[in-house]
């Protein structure tokens, strides 16, 4: 197989390679007592979630050159010499796993290890009975149903990548998996150590740090080859953003990065706006979807922005009144499309169900949940042809790359209940950006 080329210089250029994860038994194994700890608001019907996801993946296949599942990549990385044993040892240190569980994992094949680390390992009958008497139901190795949201544990930025560190312990395993994929997958052997722009997992495991800084992919938006936007949210810390800015500055000085500006968006620390991409996504060359209260002039909750100059030795900063104005100053002039339309009630409802979390497969070719009807009406008014995803995949005559604007609506009765939208479910590895290799 050919190498996987990391190249993300845009949120909207045509998708080449993208990583997703089909929800597996890990969502079926989640019991109600675990919901809050695992960041879910409800338990999902796994079969329905998988059917919805399969339609989502078929739509991606209509545009992307290659759609990859992280489960497959993880297995392929573990097959390399010594990698499986090294991963189990790092997992033991990270999650404080008992020796008996690690011994069980060491005797498994790479496929079974990858399955167990994602799906989880229930207690056997004897152990489970005793465990049940002590506390609410648990697992020997807990499932990680949040892996469905591939956006967060890592991010490709330009030709480099971030191994993020998650704000919640419930997701601590995911960046470890991504770290092993980026460093050990046979199709990524060309990557250099300096290609990793942010990593708190390695220094944590080696004891160089005790308290890692949180950075998540839902807060990381690549607006163009020179401008990166990062949300300072309940999931991403200001110190992590400073560390990323410093790393990008050093990469720019070495001639290994094109990014000249990092815009830090100061977010409220609330669950409804857990990441920047829940309130702002770019959908075309001249358009973005916004949650209006955070971007409307004279709003009481208008989001301020701190600009980092990545070309300067001292990394100077300056304050901007809001993101849209800050982007105009960088030559990116975006017309906002309102999540929820003009009605403040619908704005709140549809922002909660990820109406602003659109994913662009190509300029003006976006995916959105079908339940966000007012947002779809706003897109239609802006010239988008609104299509149901199920009908789209049954009609091969529709060319999504014919130059028109398309909003493809995904049925999402189950997926939307997991609190993440189409952008949350995707981690692009490469996009076709004109003029960049």
Q: Give the separation between CA 196 and CA 40, rounded to whole angstroms.
A: 30
Count of CB atoms situated within 10 Å of the CB of 255: 7
User: Which pLDDT score, from 0 to 100, does residue 131 have?
Assistant: 44
Q: Report pLDDT for 137.
A: 54
Query: Whose CA is closest to 262, among 232, 300, 298, 293?
Result: 232
C-alpha angle with apex 291: 287 to 294, nearest 5 degrees? 110
Which of 3.90.700.10, 3.40.30.10, 3.30.450.20, 3.75.10.10 would CATH assign to domain 14-432?
3.75.10.10
Q: Where are the beta strands (DSSP E) in 61-111?
A: 66-69
CB atoms within 10 A of CB 129: 10
Which residues does residue 307 pair with via DSSP β-bridges, in sequence order? 263, 318
130: pLDDT strictly greater than 50:
no
Known catalytic membership, residue 45: no
Write the pLDDT tens digit of every residue in 227-241.
999 999 999 999 999
pTM of the model: 0.94
Both tokens of residue 295?
């971007």
Q: For all residues of the chain together, what is the average pLDDT?
A: 93
pLDDT digits (tens, 9 = 90+) for 51-94: 999 999 999 999 999 999 999 999 999 999 999 999 999 999 99
Examine the pLDDT at 43 and tell me if it is beyond 90. no
Q: In this structure, what DSSP letter does residue 368 have?
A: E
Give the pLDDT band (50/70/90) at residue 334: very high
Residue 126's pLDDT band, with cuts at 50, 70 and 90, is very low
Residue 96 burial (CB count, 10 A): 7
- Report residue 307 as tokens: 């600009």
Q: What share of the chain is helix, strand, coil (3-state, %, to 5)?
A: 40, 20, 40
CA end-to-end distance (rounded Å), the chain: 19
- Which pLDDT score is estimated for 270? 84
* Confidence at residue 132, expressed as pLDDT on a 0 to 100 scale: 43
Among the residues of 302-410, which ranges form H helices?
A: 323-329, 344-352, 373-381, 389-393
Q: Which residues contact 247 (CB under 8 A, 6 or more apart)?
A: 197, 198
Distance of CA 404 to CAs 21, 141, 288, 362, 366, Å? 29, 48, 16, 11, 11
Give, in order, the Cα–Cα distances in Å from 336 to each of 11, 274, 282, 292: 15, 20, 9, 9
Residues 114, 141 contacting (CB under 8 angstroms) = no
Residue 133 has pLDDT above 50, yes or no: no
Mean pLDDT within 89-101: 93
- Stretch 198-216: mean pLDDT, rounded? 95
- H-run or E-run covering 89: helix 83-95
φ, ψ for residue 271, nearest 5 deg = -65, -35
Residues whose CB is less than 8 angstroms from the CB of residue 254 and which lie 6 or more positions away in sequence, other chains included: 194
Residue 364 pLDDT greater than 60, yes or no: yes
- Average pLDDT, integer, range 143-165: 96
Residue 136: pLDDT over 70: no
Dist. CA 208–CA 330, nearest whole Å = 37
Locate the DSSP E strands across 127-260: 154-157, 160-163, 196-199, 220-224, 227-232
pLDDT at 129: 46
Which segment of 31-40, 258-267, 413-422 scores lowest on mean pLDDT? 31-40
Which of residues 150 and 96 earns the better pLDDT score? 150
Confidence of residue 123 (pLDDT cuts 50, 70, 90): confident
Greatest Cα pair distance, the chain, in angstroms, is: 64
Q: 25 with 119: CB under 8 angstroms?
A: yes
Phi, psi of 253 (to 5 degrees): -65, -30
For residue 218, the model assigns a pLDDT of: 97
């Amino acid at each position: 197989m050919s190498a996987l080329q990391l190249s993300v210089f845009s949120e909207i250029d045509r998708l080449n390679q993208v990583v997703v994860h089909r929800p597996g038994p890990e969502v079926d194994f989640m019991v109600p007592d675990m919901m809050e700890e695992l960041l879910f608001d409800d338990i999902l019907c796994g079969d329905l979630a998988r059917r919805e996801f399969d339609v989502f993946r078929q739509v991606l296949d209509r545009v992307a050159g290659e759609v990859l599942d992280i489960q497959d990549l993880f297995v392929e990385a573990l097959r390399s010499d010594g990698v499986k044993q090294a991963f189990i040892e790092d997992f033991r240190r990270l999650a404080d796993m008992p020796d008996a569980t690690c011994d069980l994992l060491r005797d498994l094949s790479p496929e079974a290890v990858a399955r167990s680390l994602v799906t989880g390992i229930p207690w056997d009958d004897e152990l489970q009975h005793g465990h049940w008497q002590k506390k609410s139901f648990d697992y020997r190795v807990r499932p990680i149903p949040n892996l469905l949201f591939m956006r967060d544990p890592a991010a490709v930025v330009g030709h480099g990548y971030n191994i993020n560190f998650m704000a919640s312990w419930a997701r601590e395993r995911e960046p470890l998996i991504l770290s092993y994929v980026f460093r050990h997958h046979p199709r990524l052997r060309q990557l250099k150590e300096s290609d990793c722009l942010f990593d708190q997992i390695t220094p944590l495991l080696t004891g160089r740090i005790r308290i890692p800084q949180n950075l998540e992919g839902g807060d990381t938006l690549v607006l163009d080859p020179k401008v990166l936007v990062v949300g300072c949210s309940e999931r991403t810390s200001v110190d992590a953003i400073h560390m990323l800015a410093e790393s990008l500055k050093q990469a720019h000085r070495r001639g290994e990065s094109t990014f000249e500006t990092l815009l830090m968006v100061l977010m409220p620390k609330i669950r409804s706006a857990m990441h920047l991409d829940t309130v702002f996504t770019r959908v075309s060359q001249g358009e973005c979807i916004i949650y209006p209260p955070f971007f409307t002039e004279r709003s009481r909750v208008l989001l301020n922005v701190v600009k980092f100059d990545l070309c300067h030795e001292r990394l100077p900063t300056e304050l901007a009144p809001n993101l849209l104005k800050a982007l105009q100053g960088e030559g990116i002039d975006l017309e906002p499309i309102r999540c929820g339309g003009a009605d403040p009630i619908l704005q709140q409802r549809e922002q909660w169900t990820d109406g602003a979390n659109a994913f662009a497969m190509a300029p003006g070719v976006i995916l959105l949940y079908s339940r966000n009807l007012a947002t779809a009406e706003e897109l239609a008014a802006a010239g988008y042809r609104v299509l149901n995803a199920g009908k789209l995949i049954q009609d091969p005559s529709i060319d999504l790359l014919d130059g028109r604007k398309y909003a493809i609506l995904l049925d999402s009765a189950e997926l939307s209940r997991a609190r993440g939208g189409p952008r949350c479910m995707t981690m692009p590895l490469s996009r076709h950006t004109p003029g960049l290799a």
